Amino acid sequence: MTLIRKIIYWLSPRLLAIGFISGQAVFATSSTDIHDCNQATTPKISIHCGKTPSVIFDKNDRLWAVFEQNQFIYLTYSDDFGKSYSPPVTVNSVAEKIYADGENRPKIAVGHNAEIYISWSKKTEGKYTGDIRFSRSVDNGKHFSPVKTINNDKLLTGHRFDSLKVNRDGQIFISWLDKRDKIYAKKSGNNYKGAAIYYTTSKDSGLSFAPDKKIADRSCVCCRIAMTETNDGKMAVLWRHIFNDKKLGDNIRDHAIAFIDDKNSSQIQRATVDNWKINACPHHGPSLTLGPDNNFHMVWFTASTDKKGLYYGAYNAREKTISAQIPLSQQASASHPYILYANKHLVLAWKEFDGKKSHIHYKYQKFNEKNNSFPGNTWISSKSVATSKKESDHPTLVASQNRTWLSWHTRAEGLKLIPLI
């Protein structure tokens, strides 16, 4: 045996052993899910195997779901409340990089004449850059229009974290976080804090959109925007803002609310007062719903000196006042709350992690029609309604004609639709 062979002979088993150990470290996380997403030689396109789904029921209780998978947006539907789904239809005919994480996901809305509207944030060249993209279907989700870019500034900068809604008149509203003003400020030799909130509207079912309008400067740059319709057809927009407080200084990352229609945006108002001073990315946007009491019910995350965790509160737009801000959960693992009023119930859901499993908890209260109010801080139930040992998405709530459902996507189980109320 030559000397070199001797060396190889001596080294091989030892290197193999080391390779095995390091290999285990890398591959120990591969998932085994119930939908065979990892089995096929070609990727299986499915709501369960894709990422970051958003769902909505139409007036016939068909559940429409949009999701991202391998640089495509897909649409699918279910007529049996999530037990089975139709074959996915591709929305964008050309692959493109798409933001698909908990705070930044494709959105879906249904128009008055059963139009399907979809928006998402496309990754463009560079860091934190993107464009807001839109496509629609007018044949019940069979085909989609060519994708168009919604933001009209033609700048290579951040246009991300889109939010999409349709109002009672069928008008489409899209709002997003926009960094064009940072570029303008830089050209003028000025600094610019955070991003801005911009929006646009469409009165012709998505054929055309109005020029972009700014709602406010100084939004936080990495939290989702919450948007819900007001009782006069406007949109209420809630986002994490960067307040500059006279006493506390800059970087107060509480929430602001504004009301928009196709012409104007209202002055912004402070919607939460936690005084969370931080120069960081919370990656934790709020959620918003309008109650029959005409209050805007909100849930959010904060980690200020004296308030840490998830909170619930209500904003009265007429009086511009905020109700008592009530802690939902102060567990450090409690995250990403969602709120929805539907079918006479106000429902809250959020995620917690116990060290081994993620749990979805929820609370609800019933609207008292006689008193025209909710029963204050009296909530029913707060239990784990779903669990997962693997990675999971943020929980969302969605309402059918008679029920409120939890929609939760997990790596192990795919999309779960669970009836709550």
- Of 109 and 177, the one with the shorter C-beta distance to another protein is 177
Phi, psi angle pair for 246, to nearest 5°: -60, -40
- Of 67 and 259, the one with the shorter C-beta distance to another protein is 67
Decide if 333 contacts 392 (C-beta within 8 A). Answer: no
In the complex, least distance from residue 306 CB atom to another protein, rounded to whole angstroms: 15
Outline where DSSP puts E strands in 82-210.
Answer: 89-90, 107-110, 116-123, 130-137, 148-149, 159-166, 172-178, 195-202
- Of 8 and 380, the one with the shorter C-beta distance to another protein is 8
In the complex, least distance from residue 406 CB atom to another protein, rounded to whole angstroms: 18
Give the contacts of 275 (CB within 8 A, at least 6 positions apart). Answer: 245, 248, 252, 254, 304, 305
- Of 124 and 335, the one with the shorter C-beta distance to another protein is 335
In the complex, least distance from residue 346 CB atom to another protein, rounded to whole angstroms: 25
Distances (CA, A) of 161 to 102, 118, 188, 215: 10, 13, 26, 15
Which residues bind to another protein, rule: CB under 8 A?
A: 3-4, 6-7, 10, 14, 18, 22, 25-26, 28-29, 101-102, 127-128, 221-222, 278-284, 301, 303, 308-309, 332-333, 335, 353, 355-356, 358, 391-392
Distances (CA, A) of 313 to 107, 298, 321, 381: 25, 5, 11, 18
Count of beta carbons in the 10 Å neighbourhood of residue 117: 23
Give the chain's radius of gyration (CA, Å): 23
- Of 272 and 335, the one with the shorter C-beta distance to another protein is 335
Q: In the beta sheet, which residues pair with residue 348?
A: 339, 363
In the complex, least distance from residue 11 CB atom to another protein, rounded to whole angstroms: 8
- Of 283 and 403, the one with the shorter C-beta distance to another protein is 283
In the complex, least distance from residue 85 CB atom to another protein, rounded to whole angstroms: 25
Whole-angstrom distance, CA of residue 362 vs CA of residue 365: 11
In the complex, least distance from residue 282 CB atom to another protein, rounded to whole angstroms: 5
